[in-house]
Amino acid sequence: MDVNEFREFAKATIDYIADYHENIRDKQVLPDISPGYIKDKVPSDPPKEGEHWGNLLKDVNDVILPGLTHWQSPNFYAYYPASYSFPSVVGDLLSTGLGCVGLNWITGPAITELEVVMMDWLGKMLDIPLAFLNCSEGPGGGIIKGTASEATLVCLLAAKDKTVRRVKTLRPDLCDSDIKGKLVAYSSDHSNSSIEKAGLIGSVPMRLLLSDDEGRLNPQFLKEAIEQDLKLGLFPCYVVATLGTTGTCSFDNLQEIGPICEEFNVWLHVDAAYAGAAFVCPEYRYLKNGLEYAESFNFNAHKFMLINFDCSILWVKNAFNLINAFTVERPYLKHEYDSAPEYMHWQIPLGRRFRALKLWFMIRTYGVEGIRKYIRKQTGLINYFSEILKKDSRFEVCCKNLALLCFRVRGDDNLTKMLLNKLYERKQIYVISYTYKKNTVIRFSINSNECSEADLHFAYTEISNQVDDILNKNFIVITKEVNFKIEFDKSMELENIH
Ligand SMILES: Cc1ncc(COP(=O)(O)O)c(C=O)c1O
């Protein structure tokens, strides 16, 4: 493909993307296909000769689109927002189009330098402690990772390294492997699956402590668990607190957890994958009180800040904890600018993409006020939906935080399970289930930028009609007072998501 063909192909593709967004409401949110569907539509062997690019866009229509779950559809209320904005898309396109890779600083000075500045812009926007910023006097700083999972793992590995070094000074009789075999980490049983996975990959047992009724890490249980483990001769090394849990968007209390970590010299990592973006609005900042105790703090700009996947922001108070853990030198990585920041020592991969471009484009085109407006619009919509549900005595709104709420059908738990199944089968709106205070709840998250009050009325009508159907078939009338039992086929039960 020459540069002229590239121009045509790329312009046609941009038009295709713009049309996709303009017509997103016409698309059924969940696809009507089953696993393996693409095998029948794509040849089993690669083409011998190259073909014209025009065939590709046609096949995207015929082969790919029927197999997409439309995250940008206003009817997608599952999981969390697949953050999206046009300036961010263009930033990503440019990053790919320029075709540069950042290994060390010299292979892409602008890649590193812009990232350093963007991390400080974001840190200031979220009003996080100065110690986390690259521009602070101290050793703190921020870096872009691919995902929150990666951030949690990297910090666990750094905490492991730091704890081994510390214990060795106190117990010179122990070697590295003795200490590593006795490390232990903690989080709550409502933390994201990626936290447990970090423990698995990093070979540090992750104790998932029973959370309180609201899904928050219980500080008393944390303290007791640490004390218990110390008595057993183990070395507590890492605690992950969550601001905005995946299931219900609960917030762990950092003001209580922080001093415990400080007392026992344990690294506190704060996972604010979804909720962190909301701190750009001053009215949500109280939720991060106590963040000054954290050694590391992570949020996904690709969840609730108009940045396309992937872009996960990690700040650490002391970058030397990463550098000490991950630095591997080679002659081919050396260059003459010794004092330049080297993100390759803060991460697992060597190469890195130019992700700061999409942040730069989005922040400049929206401005801080534009981002606040977006977050407030989404949280305003959830309040609107909550009011609609509250006016209907068949439903109970169980919890509501940021742009997420969980609700259930009053009465027997099976009613909510049946409703979930019907919604899932009909594919008009996409929601998922969770368990809250031992009840099945429907987790409803405002995700699409396009979502409007009219879309919420559509969602409510769909939910309401399906409940009507279930109740009529089972001869049930719901009142707030009456509790009843109904039969439910257990094999139809949906899995919890976290
Ligand atoms: C609280 C929380 N932490 C971590 C994650 C994992 O995010 P990622 O896909 O960026 O690894 C999620 C995703 O749902 C989340 O909600």
Would you call 68 helix, strand, or coil by DSSP?
coil
pLDDT at 488 (0 to 100): 45
Q: DSSP class of residue 327?
A: -
> CA-based Rg of the chain, rounded to a whole angstrom?
25
For residue 149, give the ligand 1 atom closest to its CA: 11
* 439 three-state secondary structure: strand
The response to whether residue 273 sits with its C-beta less than 6 Å from ligand 1 reads: yes
Q: Is 83 in the pocket of ligand 1 (CB under 6 A)?
A: no
274, 299, 311, 401, best to mutate for ligand 1 pocket (most atoms within 8 Å of CB): 274
296 lines ligand 1 (CB under 6 A): no
Hey, is 393 helix, strand or coil?
A: coil
271: Cβ below 6 Å to ligand 1?
Answer: yes
Which domains does the chain carry? Answer: 3-68 (1.20.1340.10), 101-353 (3.40.640.10), 375-492 (3.90.1150.10)
* Closest ligand 1 atom number to CA of residue 302: 10
Does the beta carbon of 312 lie inside 6 Å of ligand 1? yes
pLDDT, tens digit, 9 for 90 and up, residues 340-357? 889 999 999 999 999 999
Burial call 409-448: b when 16+ CB within 10 Å, e when fewer: bbbbbbbbbbbbbbbbeeebbbbbbbbbeeebbbbbbbbb
What spacing in Å lies between the alpha carbon of 494 and ligand 1's midpoint? Answer: 20
b/e per residue, 347-360, with b = 16+ CB within 10 A? beeeebbbbbbbbb
User: Residue 108 and residue 12: Cα distance in Å, rounded?
Assistant: 30
How big is the CA angle at 466 (ends 462 and 468), to the nearest 5 degrees? 120
The residue to mutate among 145, 206, 211, 300, having the most atoms of ligand 1 within 8 angstroms of its beta carbon, is 300
Distance 191 CA to ligand 1 centre (A): 9
- Ligand 1: distance of its center to the CA of 91 in Å? 23
At 421 the pLDDT is 96
CA distances from 443 to 78, 260, 449, 485 (A): 7, 32, 18, 23
Per-residue b or e along 189-216, where b marks 16 or more CB atoms closer than 10 Å to that residue's CB: ebbbebbbebbeebebebbbbebbeebb
149 ligand 1 Cβ < 6 A? yes
- Quick check: 304 and 316 in contact, CB under 8 A? no
Cα of 249 from ligand 1 centre, angstroms: 12
Catalytic residues: 192
Residue 194 in contact with ligand 1 by CB distance below 6 A: yes
Atom of ligand 1 nearest to the CA of 80: 14
Q: Which atom of ligand 1 is nearest to the CA of 275?
A: 1
242 lines ligand 1 (CB under 6 A): yes
Looking from the CA of residue 300, the nearest atom of ligand 1 is 10
- The candidate with the shortest Cα–Cα distance to 151, out of 194, 180, 100, is 194
> Which regions in the chain score pLDDT beneath 70?
475, 477-498
Gap from CA of 404 to ligand 1 centroid (Å): 15
246 lines ligand 1 (CB under 6 A): yes
The per-residue pLDDT for 484 is 47
Distance CA 413, CA 418 (A): 9
- Closest ligand 1 atom, residue 312 Cα: 10
Each residue's pLDDT tens digit, 11-28: 999 999 999 999 999 999
pLDDT number for residue 45: 95
Q: How far is the CA of 432 from the centre of ligand 1 (A)?
A: 16
Please tell me the distance between residue 272's alpha carbon and the centre of ligand 1 in angstroms. Answer: 8
Whole-number Å distance, alpha carbon 481 to ligand 1 midpoint, is 38
300 ligand 1 Cβ < 6 A: yes
Best residue among 191, 194, 305 to mutate for probing ligand 1's pocket (most ligand atoms within 8 Å of CB) is 194
pLDDT given for residue 479 in this prediction: 59
